[in-house]
Amino acid sequence: MEKKHIFTGTATALVTPMKEDGVDYEALGNLIDWQVASGVKALVVCATTGEAPTLTDNEHCKVLEFAIERSKHRVPIIAGTGSNDTAHAIMMTQFACAIGADAVLCVTPYYNRPTQSGLIASFTAIADAATAPVILYNIPSRTGTSIEPETFEVLGDHPNIVGIKEASGRLPKIMETFRRVRGKLDVYSGNDDQTLPLLAMGGKGLISVAANVVPAQTVALCEKFFAGDVAGAADVQLELLPLMQALFYQTNPIPVKAALARMGRIEDRLRLPLTPMEEPYRGKLFRIMEEMGLI
């Protein structure tokens, strides 16, 4: 059976705007509309950039419902449903599938530090329970555990596992993953600053933090590459590189929320233990944004 392909190009790892008393749904709706109008090919909701670890289950579910309703099928909605508790990940995955998410994004279980066998068992259980396609999310800097290329190869045989968000930053390992999963899984860059190298290896696109701030430009990076204009894509990658780096001066999504607040799109509010961006990083980020004409 041929696997479902979710998107090609740029997807935005969307922030969750906050107010003092909870999620700011008005700002969230405006962000979704702006992202879609800017040409992004999918939205990832309630994942790392969306502060999923500090959303209550009720908030998590409501944000997913809101995003699916607001998008009105204009772009696929990919629901973050991962957890360090496989049973909880299954519960959230089944909820997301039931309300119409186009796919789910499942991060490597964090804190527990499972073995590769444990990863295979956990992701298999989630994929068995899902009725929407599953994208695996490898980000060892946050989780403490990396999904090895051999493990991706095994998981690639599951009919409901369709892709990888690869944010390890380890290009030799990523190249080995491409070698092993080619034809089995779509691979997406999870690091903005490594987009072009992963596209060159056969990647299908990017799940982007920077696209929160510069959606049209990030879309252009992928579109130029897929149109055969590799030099043009390289120009965009290099033009955006200072911003891409600045958005990781402190832990994501601290800088991207500062940037969006400076643009007047959201309040600069995060859930503890995350706190607003500090100096001198804030000033450096804003200077880059000024140079780019964003503020």
- The residues that are catalytic are 137, 165
User: Which residues, at least 6 apart from 10, have a Cβ–Cβ distance to it below 8 Å?
Assistant: 39, 40, 41, 205, 206, 208, 211, 215, 218, 219, 221, 222
Dihedral in degrees, nearest 10, Cα atoms 118, 111, 79, 154: -20
Strands 42-45 and 205-208: unpaired
> In one letter, which amino acid is 232?
G
Asked if 41 contacts 11 with a C-beta cutoff of 8 angstroms, the reply is yes
Radius of gyration of the chain (CA): 18
Taking the CB of residue 280, how many other CB atoms lie within 10 A of it?
Answer: 8
Calpha distance 210→262 (Å, rounded): 15
Give the SS3 label for residue 103: strand
- Residue whose tokens read 């944010």: 167
Asked if 58 contacts 46 with a C-beta cutoff of 8 angstroms, the reply is no
Q: Crossing angle, helix 57-71 and helix 25-37, to 10 degrees? A: 40
Q: Which of 78, 87, 84, 71 is nearest to 35 (CA)?
A: 71
